[in-house]
Structure 1
Amino acid sequence: MNYDILYSARKTLCIQITEKAELLVRAPIGCPKKIIEEFVAAKEPWIQKKIAGRRGELKKEAAPPYSPEEKQRLIEQAGKKIGEKVRVYSKIMGVTCTRITIREQKTRWGSCSAKGSLNFNWRLILAPEKVLEYVVVHELAHRKEMNHSPGFYRVVEDAMPDYRIYQRWLKEHGRELWERA
């Protein structure tokens, strides 16, 4: 295993995985090379896992943005899929909408106007299907409650009892859907 050693006025050995997924060992001045080699060997499974994870992050970061053609195809797919889900859940929830628009919002997954126009972010097509459904249910719930009150969340829960799972996924992973934008 290749690594660099950085000696300094420290008391313990330390392993660091750099931003470029390289291994750096920080060691006390005068620490014998044999001790460092044994330390690295003992930590090898952990090191391999961390380096692999960092390399995966680097690959994600290096993914090129969608071409205009790819983006247009995704927008069209989002329109079809979201339209289907709006039709299904509007019947379940007993609400209607006047229009469905797929947009490229910078900060929202969806919105609902007082007149019943629903807007959705095209990136939802990149999310797990149940997450996309949650956003549809959330926006349709605004047809009954134009706020985020406890009553609003009861409407959401009536249509999707496990909505909190998908709401949490969106909070924790939603940024990942913007990486290639």
Structure 2
Amino acid sequence: MTNQLEDLQINIIYSKRKTISIELRMDELIVRAPKGMSRYEINKFLSEKQSWIEKHLAKLQEQRSALEQLPPFTMDEIRKLAAQALISIPEKVKKYAPIVGVSYGRITIRNQRSRWGSCSGKGNLNFNCLLMLFPDDVIDYVVVHELCHRKYMNHSADFYAEVERVFPEYRRCQKWLKENGWVYISRLP
């Protein structure tokens, strides 16, 4: 179900969950609600969260204005980041794989708009070259995240328990990616 509220698109996702939550993106408010929750209850929740939404929307609009001042990455910059990633990322994978207790296949560096990393069923790992612009611990988190997919090919509680076992600070890095990652993606040509 989708409604337009001024310039903000509201998407409601119903699922088997017990609580309601919201996630604000540039032009979209994602509402995750329990199956069976009425539209009235959702609207009441959004009304209660209106000041939070307005505050964070203003912050996002400031970020967008700043972003519009940044030039897109050149193909030469992307090539340099990929070359750097081809050296750095395999070293990190080699470091963390024994800690996670997994093997892995091929490591590929890509220029992706939607993912920081991925893990195939065959154990091949893909990483975004833009990671080279991130803080070192955030890169470590992405590597650990993908290696943990060698044990759990999902985002279950068991998966995140394994991520936390290996990398206890993962939530801070996850938050950094959520808050800052889109700035880098937006600069791709």
Indicate the TM-score class for this superposition, using the shorter chain for normalisation.
Answer: 0.5 to 0.7
Structure with the greater alpha carbon radius of gyration: 1
Matched, 1:171 2:178: yes
Q: How does 1:18-167 map to 2 (within 5 A)?
A: 60-167=67-174
What percentage of aligned pairs have identical amino acids? Answer: 51
- Matched AA of 2:149: H
Given the superposition, is the C-alpha separation of residues 56 and 98 from structure 1 closer, same or farther in structure 2, using an over 3 Å criterion?
Answer: closer
Q: What are the Cα deviations for residues 37-76 of structure 1, in whole angstroms up to 9, with x where unaligned?
A: xxxxxxxxxxxxxxxxx99976642332222222111111
Instruction: Tell whether the 8 Å contact from 1:137 to 1:156 is kept in structure 2 after alignment.
Output: yes
Q: What are the Cα deviations for residues 81-117 of structure 1, in whole angstroms up to 9, with x where unaligned?
A: 1111101000211111111001122211111011000
Q: SS of 1:161's equivalent?
A: coil
- Matched AA of 1:88: K
Judge which range, 78-87 or 63-72, deviates more. 63-72
Instruction: Tell whether the 8 Å contact from 1:110 to 1:120 is kept in structure 2 after alignment.
Output: yes
Deviation at 1:158, TM superposition (A): 0.9
Instruction: Tell whether the 8 Å contact from 2:81 to 2:132 is kept in structure 1 after alignment.
Output: yes
CA distance in 2, matches of 1:143, 1:118: 10
Deviation at 1:168, TM superposition (A): 0.8
TM-score, normalisation: structure 1: 0.65
Instruction: Tell whether the 8 Å contact from 1:110 to 1:139 is kept in structure 2 after alignment.
Output: yes
Given the superposition, is the C-alpha separation of residues 59 and 167 from structure 1 closer, same or farther in structure 2, using an over 3 Å criterion?
Answer: closer
TM-score, normalisation: structure 2: 0.62
CA distance in 2, matches of 1:116, 1:152: 16
Post-superposition, which runs of at least 4 consecutive aligned residues in structure 1 deviate over 4 A?
Answer: 54-60
Given the superposition, is the C-alpha separation of residues 102 and 88 from structure 1 closer, same or farther in structure 2, using an over 3 Å criterion?
Answer: same
Number of aligned pairs? 128
Q: SS of 2:138's equivalent?
A: helix
CA RMSD of aligned residues (A): 2.0
Q: SS of 1:116's equivalent?
A: coil
Structure 2, unmatched stretches of 5+, are 1-60
Instruction: Tell whether the 8 Å contact from 1:127 to 1:177 is kept in structure 2 after alignment.
Output: no
